[in-house]
Chain A
Amino acid sequence: MARQIKRAKWGYALLLAAALVLFAAPGGAQIPGQSEKAQKIGKRLMCMCGCNQILVECNHVGCSVSTAMLKDLDARLARNEPEDLLIQSFVQQYGEKVLAAPPAKKFGLVAWVMPFFALLLGFFFIRVLLLRWRHQSPALAGMPGAGPEASPEMLARARREMDLEDELESPGPAARKD
């Protein structure tokens, strides 16, 4: 048993090593200079052709809207406009819907807050539920099933099966008997 556990530990180590080799991140080659910045900003904007896609990911062949927007973006970057100002000018031109994510102000803030508020509410609900269940009297718990008695052979077999099941559930000394 001890040898097998030791072998399993080696197995774990190998698994870990394999995972790390496969996880190893590729080198950091990026698109140089301005294009990289355009890509970064373009990911914060939506294409306004109605496709509901990120500006730099719009894959419509010959989409004149995304082409014009990207050219505009490049031109503004060439003028060294600051990123926030640049995005603001797109918002002025197309409205807030040009932003790929809701702005964290006014009604846009509601979009960000609600999921986490719902999650918190859920945690609170579960806490209340758990406390209520803990204090509930076990009125119906463990009610014996109706019907005639099991035969001694069946009971013996059931005990054998249950012993094995318990051991499968919690091998090792006193494990998970709690």
Chain B
Amino acid sequence: MDLFGSFALLLAFACAVYAIVAGIAAIRTRNPLILKSARHAGIAVCVLVMIGTASLFYLFLTDDFSVSYVAGHSNRDLESFFKVAALWSGQEGSLLFWSFLLSGYTFFVLLTNRGKHPELMPYVGVVLASVQTFFLILNVFVVSPFQVLAAAGADGVMRLVAQPDGRGLNPLLQYPEMVAHPPTLYMGYVGFAVPFAFALAALLGRYPGEKWIHITRKWTMIAWCFQSAGILMGAHWAYAVLGWGGYWAWDPVENASLMPWLTGTAFLHSVMMQEKRGMLKVWNVWLVFTTFLLCILGTFLTRSGVVSSVHAFAQSSIGTWFVGFLLLTLGVCTWAFLKNRDYLRSDNQLDSMVSRESSFLFNNLILLAACFAVLWGTLFPVISEAVQGSKISVGPPFFNKVNIPIGLFLLFLTGVGPLLAWRRTSLDSLKRNFGWPLAGGMVAGAIAWPMGFKDFYALLCLIISVFVILTIFGEFFRGAMVISARTGMNILSSVGQLTMRNTRRYGGYVVHFGMVLIFVGISGAAFNQDKQMEMGPGSRMDLGAYTMNLQTFTQRPEKNYTAERATIEVLKNGQPLLTLFPEKRFFPSNEMSGTMVAIYSTLKEDLYLVYAGRSPDNNQPIIHAYLNPLVKWIWLGGLIVVLGTGLALLPSRHAVLALKGAAETQAQAAPAGGAPQTVMTRSGSHGSAD
């Protein structure tokens, strides 16, 4: 099976190269047969990469320890569930998984755009095939996941050596969420290749208008949604498994996933400027390029060992390949931009400094500043070592100090943006729209201060959060009132009707609401408490309103590990609440340990218990207890962000009706199809541009 998998990937590589060559030939000759052949080669790549990935899955499921990658990342006692996750747990497999997801995206892009956009799609095919080729080079020639274990016999002949058992999966990855987190995050990383391909294709082909943005809007939102969900799942995994009481440590690998998310978010906002007003064309193209380049940079940081991280894969020479690919991609983007920049002239001018246009600009600036701060902090240890010869560490205190004010300003803009009108907003309008939400925020702050909300940033976050929530609810309420007045529907039905009329706009508000909840959750960290103590059976620890009584302490062997488990009775305000079981697991296959944190989670706070090992002095269990307020709001906010994005991806009922009407008229009128343009533009813009 390893040979079969290797051959499938080799063939995929050949097909990818052919897809590039044939695609370029088709662009030059405009020969439909060559174009068709290039497209078929692209689809063949997808099928072959899927076969290669399926082969590796098979090798894991059948415990074929003659394959080095399988022997290094799995063992016989590993649950089948985790054998699936083992595929992307190491360098080689995760790169194959990149190729697999990219092939999936490419397949759907080619399928959904079959016969459409004849001037654009050949370029898109070439760009996607080029990215795929890079990863296939790595899969086939640099870090193949199908390398077998072999040793020279007495006769000097190399023979396969199958190990009786594998080294097993890293214990930190033996957690259900880890099965979902990497694919979700990768779906985000890889997904940004699609808007990148369309942007570069539009630039190379001088494709007119905003068509590429309309085509890629949904693809970008899908990638962004996966990236958001992936980041939050990673944070939740860190919270529940790593056992240090937090969910975000500003680790270089975490930062690597955040950077493209920030620029992707900026793109999703600035794209509206181009759709609505024909502005920021250069900016948008470069935002997409930057987002994709940051995805590759993130992959490079994770794999090259250039920055130290607990998440990073082992150091390898693969970093050079990524640097080469980054430079090549940057070079192509720059060349395409310089060659065709005339085509990216803005169509419109600004009517007023106080308008939604300028708020989008500031939103983009803040997002990019946050991205720069994260990138700068991540790379500063390397830069300092290069400049002064000694490394300067950049840890959470730096990132928190720099990013918290930036983040709060961004949160403020989340509330301001929807209150500003396109083109121009008057002072009266500002007063009318800002007054009530701003007063609400200030009242909230005034009440919270005497209640013990003394941390400056947390208080500011509360004020701004209430302000933003009031603006969002205000938008829903005002719109629903109009619908209600016109149709006689009740408010709830009107909200539903309103949302479905413009899913993008109101889905966007739902996403904003989710983001506010995430900020609220993060602000809770200002009030974290923790306590650590050695606890023998019968001993007790108090933290906040909770009392923990250690009842028993047991050891039990499981299939793949041995667990040391503490049984802790938890009381709240003296009343029995529940029993928690924090444990530590020892995995003999790779001689590593893992933590299983016990969490009692409520909307107000999380009681988080870690069994931190045994005291070297008296062998007593050490229990570390944390009281983390509002953490649940982060996960809740994440869920709402995903739901909001899903809502924004639905077609607007209003736009559908208008387009339908337009199409009907178009069919009746002329083949040129210009007649319904007025209607389509107007309704389309409302259906998609807010």
Q: Does A85 lie at the interface of the complex (its beta carbon under 8 Å from any beta carbon of B)?
A: no
Q: Does A84 lie at the interface of the complex (its beta carbon under 8 Å from any beta carbon of B)?
A: no
Q: Does A115 lie at the interface of the complex (its beta carbon under 8 Å from any beta carbon of B)?
A: yes
Tell whether, in the assembled complex, residue A20 and residue B444 are in contact, meaning their CB atoms are under 8 Å apart.
yes
Tell whether, in the assembled complex, residue B481 and residue A171 are in contact, meaning their CB atoms are under 8 Å apart.
yes
Partner of B398 from A25, A39, A101, A146 at Cβ < 8 Å: A101
**Whole-angstrom distance between the alpha carbons of A102 and B392 in the complex?**
6
B399 to chain A, nearest CB (A): 9
Tell whether, in the assembled complex, residue A126 and residue B365 are in contact, meaning their CB atoms are under 8 Å apart.
yes
Tell whether, in the assembled complex, residue A107 and residue B387 are in contact, meaning their CB atoms are under 8 Å apart.
yes
Tell whether, in the assembled complex, residue A150 and residue B678 are in contact, meaning their CB atoms are under 8 Å apart.
yes
Q: Which residues of A contact B381 (CB under 8 A)?
A: 97
Tell whether, in the assembled complex, residue B482 and residue A134 are in contact, meaning their CB atoms are under 8 Å apart.
no
Tell whether, in the assembled complex, residue B678 and residue A158 are in contact, meaning their CB atoms are under 8 Å apart.
yes
Q: Which residues of B contact A82 (CB under 8 A)?
A: none
Tell whether, in the assembled complex, residue A61 and residue B252 are in contact, meaning their CB atoms are under 8 Å apart.
no
Tell whether, in the assembled complex, residue A122 and residue B529 are in contact, meaning their CB atoms are under 8 Å apart.
no
**Whole-angstrom distance between the alpha carbons of A97 and B398 in the complex?**
13
Q: Does B26 lie at the interface of the complex (its beta carbon under 8 Å from any beta carbon of A)?
A: no
Q: Which residues of B contact A53 (CB under 8 A)?
A: 244, 249, 251, 310
B661 to chain A, nearest CB (A): 7
B484 to chain A, nearest CB (A): 8
Q: Does A140 lie at the interface of the complex (its beta carbon under 8 Å from any beta carbon of B)?
A: yes
B500 to chain A, nearest CB (A): 13
Tell whether, in the assembled complex, residue A151 and residue B669 are in contact, meaning their CB atoms are under 8 Å apart.
yes
Tell whether, in the assembled complex, residue B675 and residue A150 are in contact, meaning their CB atoms are under 8 Å apart.
yes
Q: What mask results when residues 253 to 280 of chain B are scored 1 for a CB within 8 Å of chain A, else 0?
A: 0000000000000000000000000110
Tell whether, in the assembled complex, residue B384 and residue A24 are in contact, meaning their CB atoms are under 8 Å apart.
no
Q: Does A8 lie at the interface of the complex (its beta carbon under 8 Å from any beta carbon of B)?
A: yes
Known: A46-B395, A119-B365. A52 touches B443 (CB 8 A): no
Q: Does B350 lie at the interface of the complex (its beta carbon under 8 Å from any beta carbon of A)?
A: yes
Partner of B682 from A112, A115, A158 at Cβ < 8 Å: A158
Question: How many residues of A are counted as interface, with CB atoms below 8 angstroms from the partner's CB atoms?
Answer: 92
Tell whether, in the assembled complex, residue B679 and residue A23 are in contact, meaning their CB atoms are under 8 Å apart.
no
**Whole-angstrom distance between the alpha carbons of A61 and B592 in the complex?**
9
In the complex, the chain A residue whose C-beta lies closest to that of B593 is: A61
Q: Does A57 lie at the interface of the complex (its beta carbon under 8 Å from any beta carbon of B)?
A: yes
Tell whether, in the assembled complex, residue B544 and residue A97 are in contact, meaning their CB atoms are under 8 Å apart.
no
Tell whether, in the assembled complex, residue A102 and residue B669 are in contact, meaning their CB atoms are under 8 Å apart.
no
Q: What mask results when residues 628 to 652 of chain B are scored 1 for a CB within 8 Å of chain A, else 0?
A: 0110000000000000000000000
Tell whether, in the assembled complex, residue B669 and residue A96 are in contact, meaning their CB atoms are under 8 Å apart.
no
- Give the size category of B's interface with A: 35 or more
**Whole-angstrom distance between the alpha carbons of A16 and B433 in the complex?**
18
Q: Does B207 lie at the interface of the complex (its beta carbon under 8 Å from any beta carbon of A)?
A: no
A134 to chain B, nearest CB (A): 5
Q: What mask results when residues 391 to 404 of chain B are scored 1 for a CB within 8 Å of chain A, else 0?
A: 11111111001100
Q: Which residues of A contact B251 (CB under 8 A)?
A: 52-53
Tell whether, in the assembled complex, residue B544 and residue A29 are in contact, meaning their CB atoms are under 8 Å apart.
yes
Known: A151-B669, A161-B679. A102 touches B398 (CB 8 A): yes
B52 to chain A, nearest CB (A): 34
Known: A101-B395, A122-B365, A147-B675. A161 touches B444 (CB 8 A): no
Q: What mask results when residues 39 to 53 of chain A are scored 1 for a CB within 8 Å of chain B, else 0?
A: 100011010001111
Tell whether, in the assembled complex, residue A170 and residue B421 are in contact, meaning their CB atoms are under 8 Å apart.
yes
Tell whether, in the assembled complex, residue A23 and residue B678 are in contact, meaning their CB atoms are under 8 Å apart.
no
Q: Does B347 lie at the interface of the complex (its beta carbon under 8 Å from any beta carbon of A)?
A: yes
A46 to chain B, nearest CB (A): 5
Q: Which residues of B contact A119 (CB under 8 A)?
A: 365-366, 369, 406
Tell whether, in the assembled complex, residue B278 and residue A140 are in contact, meaning their CB atoms are under 8 Å apart.
yes
**Whole-angstrom distance between the alpha carbons of A154 and B683 in the complex?**
12
Tell whether, in the assembled complex, residue A52 and residue B368 are in contact, meaning their CB atoms are under 8 Å apart.
no
- Report which residue of A125, A146, A157 has the largest number of chain B beta carbons within 10 angstroms of its beta carbon: A157
Q: Does A33 lie at the interface of the complex (its beta carbon under 8 Å from any beta carbon of B)?
A: no
Query: Which residues of B from 311 to 360 have beta carbons under 8 Å from A?
Result: 345-351, 353, 358
Tell whether, in the assembled complex, residue B421 and residue A54 are in contact, meaning their CB atoms are under 8 Å apart.
no
Q: Does B665 lie at the interface of the complex (its beta carbon under 8 Å from any beta carbon of A)?
A: yes
**Whole-angstrom distance between the alpha carbons of A164 and B484 in the complex?**
12
Q: Which residues of A contact B429 (CB under 8 A)?
A: 175-176, 178
Q: What mask results when residues 468 to 498 of chain B are scored 1 for a CB within 8 Å of chain A, else 0?
A: 0110010001110111111000010000001
In the complex, the chain B residue whose C-beta lies closest to that of A141 is: B348
Partner of A22 from B252, B392, B479, B604 at Cβ < 8 Å: B604
Q: Which residues of A contact B301 (CB under 8 A)?
A: none
Partner of A130 from B353, B465, B532, B613 at Cβ < 8 Å: B353
Q: Which residues of B contact A68 (CB under 8 A)?
A: none
Q: Does B426 lie at the interface of the complex (its beta carbon under 8 Å from any beta carbon of A)?
A: yes
**Whole-angstrom distance between the alpha carbons of A24 and B451 in the complex?**
7
Q: Which residues of A contact B661 (CB under 8 A)?
A: 154, 157
Tell whether, in the assembled complex, residue A137 and residue B349 are in contact, meaning their CB atoms are under 8 Å apart.
yes
State which of B32-40, B147-155, B372-380 sits at the interface with chain A.
Answer: B372-380
Q: Which residues of A contact B677 (CB under 8 A)?
A: 145, 147, 150
**Whole-angstrom distance between the alpha carbons of A43 and B395 in the complex?**
10
Q: Which residues of A contact B397 (CB under 8 A)?
A: 43-44, 100-101
Query: Which residues of A from 1 to 27 have beta carbons under 8 Å from B?
Result: 1, 4-5, 8, 11-12, 15-16, 19-20, 22-27
- Contact sample, A vs B, 24 pairs, CB 8 Å cutoff: A1-B481, A25-B452, A25-B454, A35-B532, A52-B308, A52-B395, A97-B393, A102-B394, A111-B376, A111-B398, A115-B377, A119-B365, A126-B365, A137-B349, A140-B278, A146-B674, A147-B674, A148-B670, A155-B679, A158-B683, A168-B502, A171-B479, A172-B478, A178-B425
3 nearest CB pairs, A to B: A147-B674, A100-B395, A133-B350
